[in-house]
Amino acid sequence: MYATQSAIRSVPKGNNASNAIKSLIAIHQITGQYLNKKNVQADQRNHNPNSDHGFEAFSILTEVKQLLASSGVQDGVVTPPDPGASLPGTPPSNKRNISPLTLQPAAIHSSSRPAEELSGSARPPQEAIMGLFAQMSVASAINLFKHWGVFDAIPVPHEVGDAGAEILAVGISFADLAKKVNVEEALLIRISNMLTSTSILGRSRDGLYHTPTSLCLVSTHPMSAMFSLLHTNIVSVSASLPSYFDTYGRREPVGVNHVPITFHEGKPELKYFELVNQDPKRMNEFMKAMSITHSSRVPTTGVYDMSSVLSIAKTGRETVWVDIGGGGGHIVKLFLKEYGHDGLKASQCVVHELEDVVEGASKAAQEDDVIKDVRFLPLDFHRESPIKGALIYYLRHIMRDYSDQVCANILRNVARSLCSEARILISEQITPDNPAMASQPSSQQMYAAFKDFSMLPIGGKERSLSQWRSVAAAAGLEISRVHMDPKGTSHGVVELKLAETGDEKVSA
């Protein structure tokens, strides 16, 4: 899938548009075959978060189909013109007689917005600033449509034919949609303009239809939960940031409470997770959002070299893997699926979680053959674990929720359980020390900066290797190895051991 994704991004940008068409047709066929082989359409229809590659393939296929269609190519065949007008509420016919030579580079890249466009470096300054507000308006329109249930009210395509054919061929007229969601039609159209002009929703003559992007905003899709989480944490809280820093001082938040989001919601004394946990629906949505934080872009397995863990697991060690803040066991499950045949047993794994989470998670795990023998034990990770002498204490996407001081305290507590051969693994993004000097493309730099900024409202941060080194040192630990994602994302695993001398190794 990676190869296919880079292929679509690298379709010729110059004048050679007929070669571009040929490349698109080839990608179309390959992706279609992949989808057929994997039989992922059903997963896609059900918004199965675990069918990540299927989802990517599906999105690529649809993107390719749209590009081909805009050049008059249907399912790999150039089609004659279709003079017929579109039916109300249905997408326009794709069969337009456009010469392949009219396929412009701008069209090829229309759905992937380069960072330069967002950051403004490729635009005149005033336009760049206006562009930022245009992006915010898109987020605002999505938020409103989610609140009104508009994405759920637009028919989701169910009839997926060969290689995704007909996938977008359903829609709804504005009049019917307005009735369905109880919003004045004129208002609905105005707000939808923000989303159709940015290709988030498709616009027919007098109605709307779903695109691959808008399908991710249907309430059953985990991305919809992620959108709401980010909208609350970034957009809503941003209004309170000036008064937060006026109140607490112009410095990074340091504690577990009195962070921007709890301040914004008028409950500064609460920790972020206490705030979320107060509302079961909100907690549920949070967990749903988290389910997409393991994907090909945020890898889980395949980054850390498990060979020594597996050889020790095979010796029958009682506890090998302790996943601290491991949610419903979804991450330990990925490890067991990947390494279960190589010696790692569910009974050698522990998930530590908040008491309320453990209750539901251990019950649900009984229904799951992969994790039913995993031990779910309550632990507030700001305190010491009762599990001593395990081989690996694993923290994925935990530390980034907290300040340096809180992280050092969490690590100090874990360190109390370590024997000399034990290791702590921190699985997170590793940011460059100076993003502007990094060799990464600017889109990755911006994404890294955005992820760090999105942690600020809850009092957390993303860290560079030198920041990890000082947090570890404050907890009496040192970095023994760093494993970067071999696929080149900014995700990595920082391996820590009890401090003695520095013999840190970095592998890519």
- Residue whose C-alpha is closest to residue 495's, from 487, 505, 212: 505
- Residue that has been written with the tokens 């359903």 in this structure: 170
Residue 354 binds ligand SAM (CB under 6 A): yes
Fill in the amino acid letter for 433.
D
Among residues 247, 280, 276, which one has the least CA distance to residue 262? 276
The least distance separating ligand SAM from the CB of residue 228, rounded to whole angstroms, comes to 15
69: contact with ligand SAM by CB under 6 A = no
Residue 374 or 379 having the CB closest to ligand SAM: 379
Contact flag: residue 461 with ligand SAM (CB under 6 A): no
Which member of 28, 288, 397, 469 binds ligand SAM (CB under 6 A)? Answer: 397
For ligand SAM, which stretch binds (CB under 6 A), given 13-21, 25-33, 222-230, 393-401?
393-401
Say if residues 299 and 485 touch (Cβ distance below 8 Å): yes
Rule CB under 6 A: say whether 289 interacts with ligand SAM.
no
Binds ligand SAM (CB under 6 A): choice among 27, 73, 398, 472: 398
Q: Which residues face 202 on adjacent strands?
A: 209
Task: Tell me the closest approach of the beta carbon of residue 374 to ligand SAM, in angstroms.
Answer: 14
Binding of ligand SAM at residue 382 (CB under 6 A)?
yes
Question: Please, which residue, 167 or 414, has the CB nearer to ligand SAM?
Answer: 414
Stretch that binds ligand SAM, among 105-113, 193-201, 205-213, 325-333 (CB under 6 A): 325-333
Residue 157 vs 253, nearer CB to ligand SAM:
253
Q: Does 380 bind ligand SAM (CB under 6 A)?
A: yes
Q: Which residue is nearest to ligand SAM (CB)?
A: 325
Span interacting with ligand SAM, options 108-116, 205-213, 219-227, 377-385, rule CB under 6 A = 377-385
**Amino acid present at 46:** N
Residue count, binding to ligand SAM (CB under 6 A): 19
Least distance CB 397 / ligand SAM (angstroms) = 4
**Sheet harboring 207-210: ordered strands across?**
172-173, 207-210, 201-203
For position 396 contacting ligand SAM by CB under 6 A, the verdict is: yes
Longest CA–CA span in the chain (Å) reads: 77
Output the 3-class SS for 42-102.
Answer: HHHHCCCCCCHHHHHHHHHHHHHHHHHHCCCEECCEECCCCCCCCCCCCCCCCCCCCCHHH
CA–CA gap between residue 462 and residue 452 (Å, rounded): 5
User: What's the CA gap between 412 and 499, in Å, rounded?
Assistant: 12
In the complex, the smallest distance separating the C-beta of residue 189 from ligand SAM, rounded to whole angstroms, is 38
Query: Among 377, 279, 400, which Cα is nearest to 322's?
Result: 377
Element (H, E) at 227: helix 222-230
By C-beta, is 260 or 326 nearer to ligand SAM? 326
Residues that bind ligand SAM (CB under 6 A): 273, 290, 293, 325-327, 331, 352-354, 357, 379-382, 396-398, 401
